[in-house]
Structure 1
């Protein structure tokens, strides 16, 4: 019989599949376009002229371009800041959402299309069966000062990855640690690999434990190890695991890869 923890995991897995296959999920991303590479401001397949303008992006479009800003047809110019994500993107083109982002001082536009080929082909996320032995109690040891390490990213460039501390847990009597970032809400985020990476599972995965308790203890449920966004679309920029974040054992828990992948 299923335990409550396993039932919770099944519900979590079903919600993950629903979220990634939604109209603004990672499968809907069809392109990330860096404006520095487009001095004329033109993006293939995207109407309007998009140019960097200091601390904003200047979008110039005519009524014939069919762009809308905050739900109103755009005919003229608009200065755009960073969007929070596709759900809150200010600019749309039909069903597509055009998301403005900035990384390391560089501006880009991302296109999310609810009719993308990847969405049409989605058949689910393969995951290892739930196993209670991978639900652990760990401890978070914050660094005295945050640190940044340079790591390769999925697009071939190196970027800084901010880290706030060390997540420690014990498997088969041996302690293991992962360097982790601390999110704005206090939750943790680790990028990791293990002995299954690149064979039984994707090349690397994410783990997002909740915020630690006041004494540093935190639930480390490795059954909820996640595929990174770049497993769903090539246009995402995902950091690879930092040094020391490759576990020496086979973590047969959590998401493995896209079904049929």
Structure 2
């Protein structure tokens, strides 16, 4: 008997999904989560001051540098710093944070550019957040597929929601699966867990009921025979679905699915009038 055939199994499936969905929203609503970001500031060689962060900021041979004025303080790795502080070179897709009172300042590198993103707990986007709408969980959207690794990971360049920015990911392989009798495929990137995979995709719901630019799906490590399970009920929005202060990647062209994946997270309430 499958989950679809068992009332008990369906109840457990829905309960597990609801717990996952609540954890997702709790992470988003964290006091220094993405909903708390108040700005995306691109650093230059000349000093710049921003309204939501202390000091003047620049980038150069020493990496990111802040010069704090009189009475200004940041706490970095538990140590209070004053005056001039060099954060050093930030790796691509890496970042560090510095504490400023109740806020934190994220220092990061995206698409080869150094940026700072202040995160303030009292930002209205965070304080007004009521949760992410989503399709009701449905076992029919749990699909078995086959993962085929490439002989070598393929550097794959994708666009970004930030104009003019590009991201480069190593794609270790490709996943094939069937929905409604159609064979479909997705180029996979490395996931959040050891051996796991992640796919970025759009589908026929994108821009209608789901966020137009992208959604993401984490996939457990393939079995010995390459079998993978794609649970589209757990397809998630990226931060750009909620805020303009994000640099999220776009899916590779081949990951634009020609079917409607009516599962997973939908357009956030905050974007419903913006699409």
Match of 2:215 in 1: 205
Structure 1: 5+ residue stretches without partners: none
SS at match of 2:59: strand
Match of 1:34 in 2: 42
Match of 2:201 in 1: 192
Contact 1:150 1:158 in 2 (8 A): no
Structure 1 residues 202 and 124 mapped into 2: Cα distance closer, same or farther (>3 Å)?
same
- Per-residue displacement from partner, 1:219-254 (whole Å, max 9, x unpaired)? 110100001110121111111121111111111000
Contact 1:60 1:77 in 2 (8 A): yes
SS at match of 1:189: strand
SS at match of 1:7: helix
Once the two structures are superposed, the pairs formed by residues 209-224 of structure 1 within 5 Å of their partners are: 209-224=219-234
Partner Cα separation in structure 1 for residue 191 and residue 25 of structure 2: 23
Match of 2:112 in 1: 105
Per-residue deviation at 1:63? 4.8
Per-residue deviation at 1:138? 1.5
Task: State which of 112, 118, 122 in structure 1 corresponds to 2:125.
Answer: 118
- Number of equivalenced pairs: 258
Once the two structures are superposed, the pairs formed by residues 48-197 of structure 1 within 5 Å of their partners are: 48-81=55-88, 82=90, 89=97, 91-162=98-169, 163-183=171-191, 185-197=194-206
Structure 1 residues 160 and 46 mapped into 2: Cα distance closer, same or farther (>3 Å)?
closer
SS at match of 1:208: strand
Contact 2:94 2:109 in 1 (8 A): no
Match of 1:19 in 2: 27
TM-score (norm 1): 0.90
Partner Cα separation in structure 1 for residue 203 and residue 262 of structure 2: 9
Which has the higher mean CA deviation after the structures are superposed, 142-151 or 239-248?
A: 142-151
- Per-residue displacement from partner, 1:101-126 (whole Å, max 9, x unpaired)? 11343211111111111012212111
Partner Cα separation in structure 2 for residue 85 and residue 113 of structure 1: 20
Per-residue deviation at 1:75? 1.8
SS at match of 1:244: helix
Partner Cα separation in structure 2 for residue 157 and residue 75 of structure 1: 35
Structure 2: 5+ residue stretches without partners: 1-6
Structure 1 residues 7 and 45 mapped into 2: Cα distance closer, same or farther (>3 Å)?
closer
Per-residue deviation at 1:85? 7.5
Contact 2:146 2:175 in 1 (8 A): yes
Provide the alpha-carbon RMSD of the alignment. 2.2
- Per-residue displacement from partner, 1:36-95 (whole Å, max 9, x unpaired)? 2x6223233321122224252222224511322333432232221439988x62x11111
Task: State which of 236, 241, 244 in structure 2 corresponds to 1:226.
Answer: 236
SS at match of 1:206: strand
Answering whether residue 261 of structure 2 is matched by residue 251 of structure 1, we say yes
TM-score (norm 2): 0.86
